[in-house]
Protein backbone atom coordinates (compact mmCIF):
# COMPACT_ATOMS: atom_id res chain seq x y z
CA UNK A 1 0.00 0.00 0.00
CA UNK A 2 1.46 3.31 -1.05
CA UNK A 3 -0.57 5.59 1.23
CA UNK A 4 0.66 5.71 4.83
CA UNK A 5 -1.52 6.37 7.90
CA UNK A 6 0.18 9.73 8.15
CA UNK A 7 -0.71 10.60 4.54
CA UNK A 8 -4.29 9.66 5.26
CA UNK A 9 -4.48 12.06 8.22
CA UNK A 10 -2.66 14.91 6.49
CA UNK A 11 -4.92 14.70 3.43
CA UNK A 12 -8.08 14.35 5.53
CA UNK A 13 -7.01 17.43 7.49
CA UNK A 14 -6.43 19.41 4.29
CA UNK A 15 -9.91 18.46 3.06
CA UNK A 16 -11.48 19.31 6.40
CA UNK A 17 -10.01 22.80 6.33
CA UNK A 18 -10.81 23.41 2.67
CA UNK A 19 -14.38 22.17 3.02
CA UNK A 20 -14.90 24.03 6.33
CA UNK A 21 -13.76 27.29 4.72
CA UNK A 22 -16.44 26.97 2.02
CA UNK A 23 -19.38 26.34 4.36
CA UNK A 24 -21.80 29.15 4.87
CA UNK A 25 -25.56 28.84 5.17
CA UNK A 26 -25.49 25.11 5.81
CA UNK A 27 -23.16 25.38 8.79
CA UNK A 28 -25.83 26.23 11.37
CA UNK A 29 -28.61 24.31 9.70
CA UNK A 30 -26.64 21.09 9.53
CA UNK A 31 -24.41 21.69 12.57
CA UNK A 32 -21.22 21.43 10.54
CA UNK A 33 -18.22 21.68 12.82
CA UNK A 34 -15.50 19.32 11.75
CA UNK A 35 -13.07 17.69 14.13
CA UNK A 36 -9.40 18.74 13.93
CA UNK A 37 -6.99 15.82 13.55
CA UNK A 38 -5.45 15.93 17.08
CA UNK A 39 -8.92 15.86 18.66
CA UNK A 40 -10.03 13.07 16.31
CA UNK A 41 -6.97 11.13 17.46
CA UNK A 42 -7.89 11.71 21.10
CA UNK A 43 -11.49 10.58 20.50
CA UNK A 44 -10.51 7.45 18.59
CA UNK A 45 -7.79 6.72 21.16
CA UNK A 46 -10.54 6.03 23.72
CA UNK A 47 -11.90 3.07 21.73
CA UNK A 48 -11.05 -0.43 22.81
CA UNK A 49 -10.15 -2.16 19.57
CA UNK A 50 -9.21 -5.81 19.15
CA UNK A 51 -6.02 -6.93 17.35
CA UNK A 52 -7.81 -9.08 14.80
CA UNK A 53 -11.23 -10.16 13.57
CA UNK A 54 -13.50 -7.42 12.33
CA UNK A 55 -15.50 -4.54 13.72
CA UNK A 56 -18.35 -2.53 12.27
CA UNK A 57 -18.02 1.21 12.83
CA UNK A 58 -20.72 3.86 12.47
CA UNK A 59 -19.76 7.48 11.75
CA UNK A 60 -23.14 9.26 11.72
CA UNK A 61 -22.85 12.85 10.53
CA UNK A 62 -19.43 12.01 9.14
CA UNK A 63 -18.52 15.40 7.68
CA UNK A 64 -15.27 15.13 5.76
CA UNK A 65 -14.41 11.91 7.60
CA UNK A 66 -11.93 13.07 10.27
CA UNK A 67 -13.11 10.49 12.78
CA UNK A 68 -13.23 7.55 10.39
CA UNK A 69 -9.78 8.51 9.09
CA UNK A 70 -8.40 8.62 12.65
CA UNK A 71 -9.86 5.17 13.33
CA UNK A 72 -8.37 3.70 10.17
CA UNK A 73 -4.96 5.28 10.87
CA UNK A 74 -4.98 3.86 14.38
CA UNK A 75 -5.93 0.37 13.18
CA UNK A 76 -3.27 0.52 10.43
CA UNK A 77 -0.61 1.34 13.03
CA UNK A 78 -1.74 -0.87 15.91
CA UNK A 79 -3.96 -3.63 14.55
CA UNK A 80 -2.96 -4.43 10.96
CA UNK A 81 -4.97 -7.69 11.04
CA UNK A 82 -8.21 -6.05 12.13
CA UNK A 83 -10.75 -5.65 9.37
CA UNK A 84 -12.88 -2.49 9.57
CA UNK A 85 -16.39 -2.31 8.13
CA UNK A 86 -17.02 1.41 7.84
CA UNK A 87 -20.44 3.02 7.52
CA UNK A 88 -20.71 6.78 7.13
CA UNK A 89 -23.77 9.02 6.95
CA UNK A 90 -23.48 12.52 5.52
CA UNK A 91 -26.30 14.50 3.93
CA UNK A 92 -24.43 17.45 2.46
CA UNK A 93 -23.36 16.64 -1.13
CA UNK A 94 -20.42 19.08 -1.05
CA UNK A 95 -19.11 17.53 2.14
CA UNK A 96 -19.69 14.04 0.78
CA UNK A 97 -17.32 14.72 -2.10
CA UNK A 98 -14.46 15.30 0.38
CA UNK A 99 -15.59 12.30 2.39
CA UNK A 100 -15.44 10.05 -0.68
CA UNK A 101 -11.83 11.08 -1.23
CA UNK A 102 -10.90 10.40 2.41
CA UNK A 103 -12.63 7.02 2.38
CA UNK A 104 -10.65 6.21 -0.76
CA UNK A 105 -7.45 6.95 1.16
CA UNK A 106 -8.72 4.76 4.01
CA UNK A 107 -9.00 1.82 1.62
CA UNK A 108 -5.41 2.45 0.49
CA UNK A 109 -4.13 2.28 4.06
CA UNK A 110 -5.94 -0.65 5.66
CA UNK A 111 -8.34 -3.55 4.93
CA UNK A 112 -11.79 -1.91 5.01
CA UNK A 113 -15.23 -2.25 3.53
CA UNK A 114 -17.04 1.02 2.96
CA UNK A 115 -20.73 1.89 2.99
CA UNK A 116 -20.90 5.62 2.33
CA UNK A 117 -24.53 6.63 2.79
CA UNK A 118 -25.93 9.94 1.69
CA UNK A 119 -29.31 9.60 3.37
CA UNK A 120 -30.48 11.23 6.58
CA UNK A 121 -29.16 9.24 9.52
CA UNK A 122 -32.20 9.95 11.70
CA UNK A 123 -34.60 8.63 9.06
CA UNK A 124 -32.50 5.57 8.31
CA UNK A 125 -31.87 4.69 11.96
CA UNK A 126 -35.51 5.14 12.95
CA UNK A 127 -36.53 2.84 10.09
CA UNK A 128 -34.06 0.17 11.22
CA UNK A 129 -35.44 0.34 14.74
CA UNK A 130 -39.05 0.34 13.59
CA UNK A 131 -38.51 -2.78 11.51
CA UNK A 132 -36.65 -4.45 14.36
CA UNK A 133 -33.35 -4.98 12.54
CA UNK A 134 -30.59 -6.69 14.45
CA UNK A 135 -27.86 -4.54 15.99
CA UNK A 136 -25.60 -3.42 13.21
CA UNK A 137 -22.50 -1.91 14.79
CA UNK A 138 -19.81 -2.69 17.32
CA UNK A 139 -18.51 0.84 17.49
CA UNK A 140 -20.02 4.28 16.91
CA UNK A 141 -17.59 7.19 16.86
CA UNK A 142 -19.51 10.42 16.53
CA UNK A 143 -19.22 14.15 16.38
CA UNK A 144 -22.93 14.63 15.76
CA UNK A 145 -24.56 17.87 14.58
CA UNK A 146 -25.75 20.18 17.37
CA UNK A 147 -28.98 22.06 16.96
CA UNK A 148 -32.23 22.41 18.88
CA UNK A 149 -35.08 20.29 17.57
CA UNK A 150 -38.20 22.44 17.58
CA UNK A 151 -41.40 20.99 19.07
CA UNK A 152 -43.01 21.16 15.62
CA UNK A 153 -39.79 20.49 13.64
CA UNK A 154 -39.77 17.85 10.87
CA UNK A 155 -37.46 15.63 12.96
CA UNK A 156 -40.29 14.96 15.42
CA UNK A 157 -42.23 12.90 12.85
CA UNK A 158 -39.16 10.68 12.55
CA UNK A 159 -38.22 10.49 16.21
CA UNK A 160 -41.61 10.28 17.94
CA UNK A 161 -42.61 6.87 16.48
CA UNK A 162 -39.43 5.33 17.92
CA UNK A 163 -39.78 7.11 21.27
CA UNK A 164 -36.78 9.43 21.03
CA UNK A 165 -38.10 12.41 22.99
CA UNK A 166 -34.98 14.50 23.04
CA UNK A 167 -34.73 18.18 22.07
CA UNK A 168 -31.35 18.43 20.36
CA UNK A 169 -29.96 16.76 17.25
CA UNK A 170 -26.85 15.61 19.05
CA UNK A 171 -28.74 13.65 21.71
CA UNK A 172 -30.99 12.16 19.01
CA UNK A 173 -27.93 10.97 17.08
CA UNK A 174 -26.38 9.49 20.22
CA UNK A 175 -29.55 7.65 21.28
CA UNK A 176 -30.19 6.20 17.84
CA UNK A 177 -26.56 5.11 17.46
CA UNK A 178 -26.69 3.54 20.90
CA UNK A 179 -29.76 1.53 19.99
CA UNK A 180 -28.02 0.23 16.87
CA UNK A 181 -25.05 -1.12 18.80
CA UNK A 182 -24.58 -4.80 19.56
CA UNK A 183 -24.20 -5.87 23.22
CA UNK A 184 -20.76 -4.78 24.41
CA UNK A 185 -20.68 -2.17 21.61
CA UNK A 186 -18.96 1.12 22.30
CA UNK A 187 -20.19 4.61 21.63
CA UNK A 188 -17.68 7.43 21.69
CA UNK A 189 -18.96 10.92 21.08
CA UNK A 190 -17.78 14.49 21.35
CA UNK A 191 -20.73 16.66 22.31
CA UNK A 192 -21.64 19.79 24.25
CA UNK A 193 -21.53 19.30 27.98
CA UNK A 194 -25.15 20.37 28.41
CA UNK A 195 -26.53 16.83 28.59
CA UNK A 196 -24.67 16.13 31.82
CA UNK A 197 -26.97 18.13 34.05
CA UNK A 198 -29.55 19.99 32.00
CA UNK A 199 -33.12 19.32 33.04
CA UNK A 200 -34.08 19.08 29.35
CA UNK A 201 -31.74 16.14 28.95
CA UNK A 202 -33.17 14.02 31.75
CA UNK A 203 -34.76 11.45 29.46
CA UNK A 204 -31.58 11.30 27.39
CA UNK A 205 -29.46 10.59 30.47
CA UNK A 206 -31.91 7.97 31.65
CA UNK A 207 -31.75 6.06 28.38
CA UNK A 208 -28.00 6.47 27.95
CA UNK A 209 -27.26 5.29 31.48
CA UNK A 210 -29.73 2.44 31.42
CA UNK A 211 -28.49 1.05 28.12
CA UNK A 212 -24.80 1.61 28.68
CA UNK A 213 -22.15 2.18 31.32
CA UNK A 214 -19.97 5.26 31.15
CA UNK A 215 -16.33 4.26 30.89
CA UNK A 216 -14.56 7.49 29.94
CA UNK A 217 -15.23 11.17 30.22
CA UNK A 218 -12.81 13.63 28.74
CA UNK A 219 -13.13 17.30 29.59
CA UNK A 220 -11.41 20.22 27.93
CA UNK A 221 -10.12 22.60 30.55
CA UNK A 222 -10.32 25.74 28.53
CA UNK A 223 -13.38 26.84 26.66
CA UNK A 224 -13.34 27.45 22.99
CA UNK A 225 -10.28 25.53 21.99
CA UNK A 226 -11.67 22.36 20.41
CA UNK A 227 -13.42 23.93 17.48
CA UNK A 228 -11.48 27.17 17.66
CA UNK A 229 -11.18 27.37 13.91
CA UNK A 230 -14.97 27.15 13.57
CA UNK A 231 -15.80 29.80 16.21
CA UNK A 232 -17.63 27.35 18.46
CA UNK A 233 -18.05 28.73 21.93
CA UNK A 234 -19.15 25.98 24.20
CA UNK A 235 -17.90 23.44 26.64
CA UNK A 236 -17.37 20.08 25.00
CA UNK A 237 -16.88 16.64 26.44
CA UNK A 238 -15.93 13.34 24.95
CA UNK A 239 -17.53 10.28 26.47
CA UNK A 240 -17.30 6.58 25.89
CA UNK A 241 -20.21 4.35 26.91
CA UNK A 242 -20.32 0.59 26.57
CA UNK A 243 -23.64 -1.16 25.99
CA UNK A 244 -24.44 -3.55 28.82
CA UNK A 245 -23.29 -3.50 32.39
CA UNK A 246 -22.25 -0.55 34.51
CA UNK A 247 -18.55 -0.51 35.40
CA UNK A 248 -17.31 0.17 38.93
CA UNK A 249 -15.22 3.15 37.86
CA UNK A 250 -15.11 5.84 35.20
CA UNK A 251 -11.83 7.18 33.80
CA UNK A 252 -11.94 10.95 33.79
CA UNK A 253 -9.34 12.75 31.74
CA UNK A 254 -8.66 16.35 31.01
CA UNK A 255 -6.58 18.31 28.57
CA UNK A 256 -6.07 21.97 27.94
CA UNK A 257 -6.91 22.63 24.35
CA UNK A 258 -5.84 20.39 21.53
CA UNK A 259 -2.30 19.45 22.16
CA UNK A 260 -1.55 18.76 25.79
CA UNK A 261 -1.15 15.27 27.08
CA UNK A 262 -4.35 14.38 28.92
CA UNK A 263 -4.18 13.81 32.69
CA UNK A 264 -6.51 11.10 33.90
CA UNK A 265 -7.72 9.26 36.96
CA UNK A 266 -10.24 6.53 37.80
CA UNK A 267 -13.25 7.65 39.78
CA UNK A 268 -15.87 5.43 41.44
CA UNK A 269 -18.94 5.24 39.17
CA UNK A 270 -21.24 6.38 41.96
CA UNK A 271 -19.35 9.66 42.24
CA UNK A 272 -20.06 10.44 38.62
CA UNK A 273 -23.61 9.10 38.48
CA UNK A 274 -24.97 8.95 42.00
CA UNK A 275 -27.45 6.07 42.49
CA UNK A 276 -29.41 8.29 44.88
CA UNK A 277 -29.76 11.14 42.38
CA UNK A 278 -33.29 11.09 40.95
CA UNK A 279 -32.19 13.33 38.05
CA UNK A 280 -29.25 11.11 37.03
CA UNK A 281 -26.90 14.06 36.71
CA UNK A 282 -23.52 13.15 35.28
CA UNK A 283 -21.06 14.89 37.53
CA UNK A 284 -17.96 15.79 35.64
CA UNK A 285 -15.01 16.95 37.59
CA UNK A 286 -11.37 16.70 36.79
CA UNK A 287 -9.41 17.54 39.87
CA UNK A 288 -8.69 15.30 42.78
CA UNK A 289 -9.65 17.91 45.36
CA UNK A 290 -13.00 18.23 43.61
CA UNK A 291 -13.54 14.50 43.66
CA UNK A 292 -12.79 14.36 47.37
CA UNK A 293 -15.28 17.13 47.92
CA UNK A 294 -17.89 15.17 45.93
CA UNK A 295 -17.28 12.21 48.19
CA UNK A 296 -17.72 14.34 51.33
CA UNK A 297 -20.92 15.92 50.00
CA UNK A 298 -22.21 12.50 48.96
CA UNK A 299 -21.66 11.21 52.51
CA UNK A 300 -24.10 13.71 54.05
CA UNK A 301 -26.94 11.77 55.66
CA UNK A 302 -30.15 13.18 54.17
CA UNK A 303 -31.94 13.78 50.93
CA UNK A 304 -34.34 16.69 50.77
CA UNK A 305 -37.21 14.20 50.88
CA UNK A 306 -35.76 12.67 54.08
CA UNK A 307 -36.00 16.14 55.62
CA UNK A 308 -39.63 16.36 54.46
CA UNK A 309 -38.79 19.56 52.65
CA UNK A 310 -39.36 20.65 49.09
CA UNK A 311 -37.77 23.23 46.86
CA UNK A 312 -39.61 25.03 44.06
CA UNK A 313 -39.14 27.94 41.75
CA UNK A 314 -40.82 31.14 42.96
CA UNK A 315 -44.31 31.22 41.49
CA UNK A 316 -44.59 34.88 40.50
CA UNK A 317 -43.53 35.40 36.89
CA UNK A 318 -43.77 39.18 36.94
CA UNK A 319 -44.42 39.87 33.27
CA UNK A 320 -47.37 37.48 33.33
CA UNK A 321 -49.06 39.35 36.15
CA UNK A 322 -47.98 42.93 35.40
CA UNK A 323 -51.34 44.40 36.34
CA UNK A 324 -50.94 43.04 39.87
CA UNK A 325 -47.47 44.41 40.60
CA UNK A 326 -47.17 47.37 43.00
CA UNK A 327 -44.13 49.48 43.84
CA UNK A 328 -45.19 49.78 47.47
CA UNK A 329 -46.98 47.60 49.94
CA UNK A 330 -50.48 48.94 50.46
CA UNK A 331 -53.98 47.73 51.32
CA UNK A 332 -54.95 44.44 49.60
CA UNK A 333 -51.41 43.58 48.56
CA UNK A 334 -48.89 41.05 49.86
CA UNK A 335 -45.11 41.49 50.12
CA UNK A 336 -43.33 40.34 46.95
CA UNK A 337 -39.71 39.18 47.16
CA UNK A 338 -37.14 39.43 44.36
CA UNK A 339 -33.43 38.44 44.43
CA UNK A 340 -32.68 42.12 45.14
CA UNK A 341 -34.34 41.75 48.53
CA UNK A 342 -31.69 39.24 49.62
CA UNK A 343 -28.89 40.79 51.62
CA UNK A 344 -26.15 39.06 53.62
CA UNK A 345 -28.20 35.91 54.20
CA UNK A 346 -31.30 37.80 55.27
CA UNK A 347 -34.18 39.74 53.75
CA UNK A 348 -34.20 43.46 53.31
CA UNK A 349 -37.74 44.40 52.37
CA UNK A 350 -39.09 46.73 51.09
CA UNK A 351 -36.47 48.13 48.73
CA UNK A 352 -37.46 51.76 48.39
CA UNK A 353 -34.77 52.76 45.93
CA UNK A 354 -35.08 49.56 43.90
CA UNK A 355 -36.53 49.32 40.42
CA UNK A 356 -38.47 46.19 41.31
CA UNK A 357 -41.98 46.11 42.79
CA UNK A 358 -42.32 45.34 46.49
CA UNK A 359 -45.86 43.99 46.49
CA UNK A 360 -48.42 41.95 44.61
CA UNK A 361 -52.14 42.59 44.67
CA UNK A 362 -54.04 39.86 46.48
CA UNK A 363 -56.96 38.67 44.40
CA UNK A 364 -58.40 35.51 42.88
CA UNK A 365 -55.74 35.47 40.12
CA UNK A 366 -52.79 35.81 42.47
CA UNK A 367 -54.13 33.55 45.24
CA UNK A 368 -52.41 30.43 43.81
CA UNK A 369 -49.09 32.31 43.78
CA UNK A 370 -48.98 33.06 47.50
CA UNK A 371 -47.48 31.29 50.49
CA UNK A 372 -48.47 31.68 54.14
CA UNK A 373 -45.90 33.85 55.87
CA UNK A 374 -43.34 31.84 57.84
CA UNK A 375 -39.69 30.80 57.76
CA UNK A 376 -38.45 29.92 54.27
CA UNK A 377 -35.09 29.53 52.61
CA UNK A 378 -34.62 31.54 49.42
CA UNK A 379 -31.83 30.85 46.93
CA UNK A 380 -30.99 33.04 43.94
CA UNK A 381 -31.35 31.17 40.66
CA UNK A 382 -28.91 33.29 38.68
CA UNK A 383 -25.46 34.62 39.34
CA UNK A 384 -23.21 36.53 36.98
CA UNK A 385 -20.17 34.66 35.70
CA UNK A 386 -17.79 36.96 37.53
CA UNK A 387 -19.65 36.76 40.86
CA UNK A 388 -17.62 35.02 43.54
CA UNK A 389 -20.59 32.87 44.63
CA UNK A 390 -22.84 30.49 42.74
CA UNK A 391 -25.05 29.70 45.74
CA UNK A 392 -26.48 32.53 47.72
CA UNK A 393 -29.19 31.73 50.19
CA UNK A 394 -31.18 33.86 52.61
CA UNK A 395 -33.48 33.28 55.55
CA UNK A 396 -36.97 34.70 55.26
CA UNK A 397 -38.77 34.95 58.62
CA UNK A 398 -42.40 35.77 59.22
CA UNK A 399 -41.28 38.95 61.04
CA UNK A 400 -39.52 40.22 57.89
CA UNK A 401 -42.75 41.11 56.13
CA UNK A 402 -46.18 42.27 57.29
CA UNK A 403 -49.40 40.31 56.87
CA UNK A 404 -50.23 36.64 56.69
CA UNK A 405 -49.03 35.95 53.14
CA UNK A 406 -45.95 36.38 51.01
CA UNK A 407 -45.14 36.06 47.28
CA UNK A 408 -41.85 34.83 45.82
CA UNK A 409 -40.65 35.91 42.39
CA UNK A 410 -39.49 33.43 39.76
CA UNK A 411 -35.77 34.28 39.88
CA UNK A 412 -35.67 32.72 43.34
CA UNK A 413 -35.89 29.12 44.50
CA UNK A 414 -37.78 28.58 47.71
CA UNK A 415 -37.44 25.74 50.21
CA UNK A 416 -40.70 25.03 52.00
CA UNK A 417 -42.51 22.36 54.00
CA UNK A 418 -45.24 21.38 51.56
CA UNK A 419 -46.07 25.00 50.76
CA UNK A 420 -45.85 26.13 54.38
CA UNK A 421 -43.07 27.61 56.48
CA UNK A 422 -40.22 25.54 57.93
CA UNK A 423 -39.16 25.23 61.57
CA UNK A 424 -37.10 28.40 62.13
CA UNK A 425 -33.96 26.74 63.46
CA UNK A 426 -33.97 24.20 60.65
CA UNK A 427 -34.44 26.99 58.10
CA UNK A 428 -31.56 29.01 59.58
CA UNK A 429 -29.37 25.89 59.57
CA UNK A 430 -30.27 25.21 55.96
CA UNK A 431 -29.35 28.77 54.92
CA UNK A 432 -26.01 28.48 56.72
CA UNK A 433 -25.33 25.11 55.09
CA UNK A 434 -26.17 26.43 51.62
CA UNK A 435 -23.99 29.50 52.19
CA UNK A 436 -21.03 27.37 53.29
CA UNK A 437 -17.90 27.11 51.16
CA UNK A 438 -18.09 23.36 50.43
CA UNK A 439 -21.62 23.63 48.98
CA UNK A 440 -20.62 26.51 46.73
CA UNK A 441 -17.48 24.72 45.56
CA UNK A 442 -19.43 21.54 44.89
CA UNK A 443 -22.10 23.28 42.83
CA UNK A 444 -19.40 25.14 40.90
CA UNK A 445 -17.54 21.96 40.09
CA UNK A 446 -20.43 20.01 38.74
CA UNK A 447 -22.43 22.57 36.91
CA UNK A 448 -21.46 23.82 33.48
CA UNK A 449 -23.61 26.93 33.87
CA UNK A 450 -24.26 29.76 36.29
CA UNK A 451 -27.87 28.94 37.07
CA UNK A 452 -29.06 27.02 40.08
CA UNK A 453 -32.44 25.52 39.54
CA UNK A 454 -34.71 23.73 41.95
CA UNK A 455 -33.61 20.45 40.31
CA UNK A 456 -29.98 21.14 41.21
CA UNK A 457 -30.91 21.83 44.82
CA UNK A 458 -33.10 18.73 44.96
CA UNK A 459 -30.20 16.56 43.91
CA UNK A 460 -27.87 17.70 46.72
CA UNK A 461 -27.31 15.70 49.89
CA UNK A 462 -28.09 17.51 53.13
CA UNK A 463 -27.26 17.34 56.85
CA UNK A 464 -29.84 15.61 59.07
CA UNK A 465 -32.66 17.62 60.63
CA UNK A 466 -30.87 17.48 63.96
CA UNK A 467 -27.63 18.77 62.45
CA UNK A 468 -29.49 21.57 60.64
CA UNK A 469 -31.17 22.51 63.91
CA UNK A 470 -27.81 22.58 65.68
CA UNK A 471 -26.28 24.77 62.99
CA UNK A 472 -29.32 27.05 63.03
CA UNK A 473 -29.32 27.35 66.82
CA UNK A 474 -25.66 28.40 66.89
CA UNK A 475 -25.73 30.67 63.85
CA UNK A 476 -28.97 32.43 64.82
CA UNK A 477 -29.59 35.00 62.12
CA UNK A 478 -25.92 35.32 61.12
CA UNK A 479 -26.28 33.02 58.18
CA UNK A 480 -24.72 35.08 55.38
CA UNK A 481 -21.85 34.03 53.15
CA UNK A 482 -18.49 34.33 54.88
CA UNK A 483 -19.95 34.00 58.37
CA UNK A 484 -21.10 30.45 58.46
CA UNK A 485 -18.16 28.16 57.81
CA UNK A 486 -16.92 27.90 61.40
CA UNK A 487 -20.44 27.04 62.63
CA UNK A 488 -21.09 24.54 59.85
CA UNK A 489 -17.65 22.98 60.34
CA UNK A 490 -18.29 22.49 64.08
CA UNK A 491 -21.37 20.39 63.31
CA UNK A 492 -20.12 18.79 60.07
CA UNK A 493 -16.34 18.43 60.48
CA UNK A 494 -16.16 15.75 57.77
CA UNK A 495 -17.50 18.14 55.16
CA UNK A 496 -14.26 20.10 55.28
CA UNK A 497 -10.86 18.90 54.05
Ligand X SMILES: C[S@@+](CC[C@H](N)C(=O)[O-])C[C@H]1O[C@@H](n2cnc3c(N)ncnc32)[C@H](O)[C@@H]1O
User: C-beta of 238: minimal distance to ligand X in Å?
Assistant: 11
Phi (first) and psi of residue 174, to 5 degrees = -65, -45
User: C-beta of 491: minimal distance to ligand X in Å?
Assistant: 49
Smaller CB separation from ligand X, 146 or 281: 146
User: C-beta of 121: minimal distance to ligand X in Å?
Assistant: 4
User: C-beta of 22: minimal distance to ligand X in Å?
Assistant: 12
Smaller CB separation from ligand X, 64 or 413: 64
User: C-beta of 7: minimal distance to ligand X in Å?
Assistant: 19
CA distances from 352 to 327, 341, 349, 359 (A): 8, 10, 8, 12
Smaller CB separation from ligand X, 120 or 295: 120
Give the strand pairing for 212-220 and 249-255: parallel
Binding site for ligand X (CB under 6 A): 30-35, 61-63, 66-67, 89-92, 95, 120-122, 143, 145
Smaller CB separation from ligand X, 124 or 382: 124
CA distances from 466 to 295, 407, 425, 428, 472 (A): 21, 29, 10, 12, 10
Smaller CB separation from ligand X, 64 or 271: 64
Smaller CB separation from ligand X, 30 or 300: 30
Chain position whose Cβ is nearest to ligand X: 63
Give the strand pairing for 181-192 and 137-142: parallel
User: C-beta of 152: minimal distance to ligand X in Å?
Assistant: 17
User: C-beta of 236: minimal distance to ligand X in Å?
Assistant: 11
Smaller CB separation from ligand X, 74 or 346: 74
User: C-beta of 142: minimal distance to ligand X in Å?
Assistant: 7
For residue 154, count other CB atoms closer than 10 A to its CB: 12
| CA pseudo-torsion sign 476, 480, 486, 489 | positive
Smaller CB separation from ligand X, 118 or 383: 118
Instruction: List the end-to-end C-alpha distance of the chain, in Å, as a whole number.
Output: 58
User: C-beta of 496: minimal distance to ligand X in Å?
Assistant: 43
Among candidate residues 426, 452, 432, 316, the one with its CA nearest the CA of residue 371: 316
Smaller CB separation from ligand X, 167 or 453: 167
Amino acid sequence: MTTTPNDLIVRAETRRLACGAKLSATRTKLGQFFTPAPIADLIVGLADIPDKGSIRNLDAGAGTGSLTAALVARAARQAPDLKLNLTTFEVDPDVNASLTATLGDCADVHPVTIDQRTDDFLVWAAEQLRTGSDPQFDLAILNPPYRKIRANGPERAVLDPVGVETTNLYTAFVLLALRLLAPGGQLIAITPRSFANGTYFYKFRQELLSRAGLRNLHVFDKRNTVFADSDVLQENVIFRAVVGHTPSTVRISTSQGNIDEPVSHEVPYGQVVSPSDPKSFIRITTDVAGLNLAERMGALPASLADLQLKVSTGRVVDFRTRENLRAEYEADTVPLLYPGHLSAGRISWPMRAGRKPNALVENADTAPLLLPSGAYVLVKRFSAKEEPRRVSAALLMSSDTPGALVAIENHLNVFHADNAGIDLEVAAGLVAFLNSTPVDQFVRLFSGHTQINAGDLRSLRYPSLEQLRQIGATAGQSVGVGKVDSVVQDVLPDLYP
